[in-house]
Amino acid sequence: MDYKTLMEKAIEASKNAYNRYSNFAVGACVLTENDKIYKGCNFENASFGLSICAERNAVGSAIADGERKIKAIAIYSPNTDNCYPCGACRQVLHEFKSDNGIDVILKQGEELNIRTIDELLPEGFNL
Ligand code: THU
What strands, in cross-sheet order, belong to the sheet with 37-41?
Answer: 37-41, 27-32, 70-76, 103-108, 111-116
- Residue 1's pLDDT band (cuts 50, 70, 90): confident
Instruction: Measure 38 CA to ligand 1 centroid, in angstroms.
Output: 18
CA of 121 to the centre of ligand 1 (A): 17
Q: Could you give all domains of the chain from N- to C-terminal order, each with its CATH number?
A: 3-120 (3.40.140.10)
Q: What lines the ligand 1 site, CB under 6 Å?
A: 19, 22, 24, 26, 42, 44, 51, 53-55, 85-86, 89
Q: Rounded CA gap, 31 and 46, in Å? A: 31
Percent pLDDT > 90 in the chain is 99
**In the predicted structure, residue 108 carries a pLDDT above the cut 90:** yes
Which pLDDT tens digit goes with each residue over 62-93? 999 999 999 999 999 999 999 999 999 999 99
Residue whose CA lies nearest to ligand 1 atom number 3? 53
